[in-house]
Structure 1
Amino acid sequence: MRVMNFGEVANRLFGGSPGRGQSFLYATEQCLVQSMARAAPRWIAPAHLSMIGAGGAALAAAALVGCRSWPELVWLVPPAMFINWFGLTTDLPLARLRGGELPGAGMSHHVSELFSHILLIIAYGFSPFLTLRAAAAVLVCYLLFSSYGYIRAATRHVQQMAYIGLGVTEFRILLAFWPFAAIALGVPASQHDPLPAIDVAVIGLALVAVLGLFGKLFKDGRRIAAASASAAQSSDE
């Protein structure tokens, strides 16, 4: 089994391979994204789109926190998340289309994406739509799944883009429209309860997700061990 060098691993990690598109919206999204990349003017660089995406996340985060004093800011969250989606789903396809330096473009993309999601989850903790405890549980899950995705890409050369059909785009949709669901469920009014129902629900789901991740880790570990044993046996023969 050939060992990949650093450049090849970086290329796979930071934009060289589209990876496994397993999310529900992946196929439709890719058609739309490719059309937007082809229509992009020449003066727009992939790094510009990454920064636009990060800026959309910053705007959404500011609106979420600001909703404590100005509830009408909630209407800024969906369009800001659309900006985030546009920038961070078009930057890498644009780089590939123009034959750009994919590891560099990928680095900008992944840094902006990590910044965006972490900032948004923290902002939700300071918003009326989620408690700090629930936001902390979501953040822990996000960091665990993200870390495992990058480790899996480096060790198995597979970039996992979605779990059980839910990918980054589905996560963005949830972040964009959760404030309205939270208002309908009465989450803002329950934040002063000793144990809000939203905390029980989110922490319970987080525990299930973490257990599922450990199960996947065990399964992948067995596959890697079996592949290594098979390769060693083949080399001995």
Structure 2
Amino acid sequence: MTDSLQSGPGTLDRIQQNFLAKAERRLLTWLCSRMPSWVTPDRLTFAGVIGAVMTFAGYVASNWGAAWLILAIIGYFVQWFGDSMDGSLARFRRIERPSYGYFIDHSCDGLVTLLILAGIGLSPFVTMDVAMVALAGYLLLSIHAYLSARVLGEFKLSYLSAGPTELRLMLIGLTIMMMMLGYGPGLFGRWSGFDIFVGAVGGLLIILFIGQTLITGRRLAHKDAGLL
């Protein structure tokens, strides 16, 4: 899925090719048409951050009982609703504020990612150092997306046919497995199976960042060579 939006001085092509993109877009459009007037994009952005705080709290509280992970799962749904609906509602109502929206939305994305992965690292299921590897991978890929938006005018929202929504669903599945399996001695020393999974995802994100950097760099080199 590719569409365009104004952001700052130019136009960005939003490239969204994840599995659920079309179905999610239909759902968001349906929801936008039914939102009461008091629901605004700013309030939805705030709701998304609150959802991340709920997820953080659920993971931290799981040190005192796995049932608290239900709060983390609810937080994911609240965060999806706020994060996915804020820009969608602004475009649906034609009340976009391109520079403000781009800046606030992605600033909040960084905070949300930190809250979620720090919460996972503070849970008894995943060590903090492994969670920080995943955080680094996600933020590196985000940096690539923001740089590409600046130099190419393209804002890529998905990689390997997966985007933020698929990632949330994966984390919800991981959280359900945490509730079912509990925690105990790791299979690989101090690292549990959950550590291995989260670390592998983080490693994959870092590899994607390196690969996309090389691809984009080559593309820009050819583009600039044509200007000489």
State the distance in 2 between where 1:91 and 1:199 align: 33
State the distance in 2 between where 1:29 and 1:49 align: 17
**Structure 1 position 181 matched with structure 2 position 165:** no
**Structure 1 position 171 matched with structure 2 position 171:** no
State the distance in 2 between where 1:93 and 1:211 align: 31
- Cα-to-partner distance string for 1:178-199 (whole Å, 9 max, x where unaligned): 1222344x46213594343444
Query: Which runs of 5 or more structure 1 residues have no equivalent in the other structure?
Result: 1-5, 233-237
Aligned to 1:42: 37
Aligned to 2:120: 124
TM-score, normalisation: structure 2: 0.87
State the distance in 2 between where 1:187 and 1:131 align: 14
Q: CA deviation at 1:219?
A: 1.6
CA RMSD, Structure 1 to Structure 2 (Å): 2.1
| Percent identity over paired residues | 25
**Structure 1 position 105 matched with structure 2 position 111:** no
SS of the aligned residue for 1:41 comes to coil
Q: 1:1-237 maps to which residues of 2 (within 5 A)?
A: 7-9=8-10, 12=12, 17=13, 19-100=14-95, 101-184=97-180, 186=181, 188-190=183-185, 193-232=189-228
CA contact (8 A) 1:59 1:80 kept: yes
Higher strand share: 2
How many residues get paired? 220
State the distance in 2 between where 1:136 and 1:187 align: 21
SS of the aligned residue for 1:39 comes to coil
State the distance in 2 between where 1:42 and 1:219 align: 44
Amino acid at match of 1:91: D
TM-aligned CA distance change 1:39 to 1:197, over 3 Å:
closer
State the distance in 2 between where 1:47 and 1:229 align: 43
CA contact (8 A) 1:128 1:191 kept: no
CA contact (8 A) 2:134 2:203 kept: no
State the distance in 2 between where 1:60 and 1:197 align: 21
State the distance in 2 between where 1:183 and 1:80 align: 16
TM-score, normalisation: structure 1: 0.84
- Cα-to-partner distance string for 1:24-83 (whole Å, 9 max, x where unaligned): 111110110111112111111100000011101101110110010132111222222111
SS of the aligned residue for 2:227 comes to helix
TM-aligned CA distance change 1:42 to 1:141, over 3 Å:
same
State the distance in 2 between where 1:7 and 1:208 align: 31
Amino acid at match of 2:226: S
State the distance in 1 between where 2:183 and 2:211 align: 35
State the distance in 1 between where 2:147 and 2:115 align: 22
